[in-house]
Amino acid sequence: MNYGYMGKILRVNLSKEEISFEEPVEAFYRRYFGGRGLIAYFLLKELELGIDPLTPANKLIFACGPVTGAPISGSGRNSVGAKSPLTGAYGEAEAGGFWGAELKRAGFDAIIIEGKAAEPVYLWVHEEKAEIKDASHLWEMEIKKSQETIRKDLQDNSAKVAQIGPGGEKMVRYASVINDMSHAAGRCGMGAIMGSKNLKAIAVRGVKRVNIANPESLRRLARWMARNVDDVAHGLHTYGTGGFMDVYEETGNLPVHNFRDGEFPNVDLISAQTIKEHVRVGMGTCFACAVACKKEVKAEGPWSVDPAYGGPEYETLAALGSNCGVDDLKAICKANELCQKYSLDTISTGVSIGFAMECFENGLLNKEDTGGVDLSFGNAEAMVKMVEMIGERKGIGDLLAEGVKRAAERISNGAEEFAVHVKGQEVPMHEPRLKRGLGLGYAVSPTGADHVHNIHDTFLEPKIPEQYKSLGILEAVPTEDLGPKKVRLFKYVMTWRSLNNCLVMCLFAPWSVQQKVDIVRSVTGWNTTAFELMMVSERAINLARIFNIREGFKRKDDWLPPRFFRPKTSGALSSTAVDPEKLREAKAIYYSMMGWNEQGVPTRTKLEELNIAWTADEISVE
Kindly list the residues in this chain that would bind its own copies in the complex (CB under 8 A): 27, 30-31, 466-467, 469-472, 474-475, 484-485, 487-488, 491, 512-514, 517, 521, 526-536, 589, 592-593, 595, 603, 605-606, 608-609, 611, 613
Residue 475, SS3 per DSSP: coil
Quote the CA–CA distance of 334 and 312 in Å, as a whole number.
9
Least distance (Å) between residue 499 CB and its own copies: 11
Nearer to its own copies, 389 or 607 (CB): 607
Least distance (Å) between residue 616 CB and its own copies: 10
Nearer to its own copies, 21 or 224 (CB): 224
Question: Residue 622, class by beta-carbon neighbours within 10 Å (0-12 exposed, 13-18 middle, 19+ buried)?
Answer: exposed
Least distance (Å) between residue 249 CB and its own copies: 33
Least distance (Å) between residue 288 CB and its own copies: 24
Residue 80, SS3 per DSSP: strand
- Which sign, positive or negative, has the C-alpha torsion 543, 547, 552, 557? negative
Nearer to its own copies, 40 or 589 (CB): 589
78 phi and psi angles, rounded to 5 deg:
-145, 160
Nearer to its own copies, 301 or 472 (CB): 472
Least distance (Å) between residue 396 CB and its own copies: 47
Nearer to its own copies, 576 or 597 (CB): 597
Nearer to its own copies, 385 or 606 (CB): 606
Quote the CA–CA distance of 54 and 81 in Å, as a whole number.
13
Nearer to its own copies, 213 or 530 (CB): 530
Residues 590 and 440: beta-carbon distance below 8 Å: yes
Quote the CA–CA distance of 398 and 496 in Å, as a whole number.
38
Least distance (Å) between residue 601 CB and its own copies: 14
Helices (H), 303-452: 314-316, 329-342, 346-361, 367-370, 380-392, 396-400, 404-411, 436-444
Least distance (Å) between residue 45 CB and its own copies: 19
Least distance (Å) between residue 362 CB and its own copies: 42
Residues 587 and 605: beta-carbon distance below 8 Å: no
Q: Give how far Cα 130 sits from Cα of 20, 33, 104, 463, Å.
A: 9, 23, 13, 51
Task: Please name the residues in contact with 248: beta carbons below 8 A apart, sequence gap of 6 or more.
Answer: 254, 267, 318
Least distance (Å) between residue 79 CB and its own copies: 21
- Listing DSSP states for 113-162 in one string gives EES--SS-EEEEEETTEEEEEE-TTTTT--HHHHHHHHHHHHT-TT-EEE
Nearer to its own copies, 466 or 617 (CB): 466
Least distance (Å) between residue 611 CB and its own copies: 7
Q: What is the dihedral of CA 547, 551, 555, 559, to 10 degrees?
A: -90
Nearer to its own copies, 52 or 475 (CB): 475
How many other C-beta atoms can be found within 10 angstroms of the C-beta atom of residue 176?
Answer: 34
Calculate the CA 327 to chain-centre distance. 25
Nearer to its own copies, 335 or 533 (CB): 533
Nearer to its own copies, 340 or 528 (CB): 528
* SS3 per residue for 251-296: HCCCCECCCCECCCHHHHHHCHHHHHHHCEEEEECCCCCCCCCEEE
Least distance (Å) between residue 469 CB and its own copies: 6
* CA-based max dimension of the chain: 65
Least distance (Å) between residue 500 CB and its own copies: 16
Q: To which H or E segment does residue 92 belong?
A: strand 90-95
Least distance (Å) between residue 76 CB and its own copies: 25
Quote the CA–CA distance of 310 and 312 in Å, as a whole number.
7
Nearer to its own copies, 32 or 314 (CB): 32
Identity of the residue numbered 589: I
Least distance (Å) between residue 564 CB and its own copies: 24
Q: How far apart are the first and last CA of the chain?
A: 41
Least distance (Å) between residue 235 CB and its own copies: 23
Task: Please name the residues in contact with 57: beta carbons below 8 A apart, sequence gap of 6 or more.
Answer: 47, 48, 51
401 phi and psi angles, rounded to 5 deg:
-65, -10
Residues 392 and 414: beta-carbon distance below 8 Å: no
The angle subtended at Cα 173 by Cα 406 and Cα 425, nearest 5°, is 65
Nearer to its own copies, 308 or 464 (CB): 464
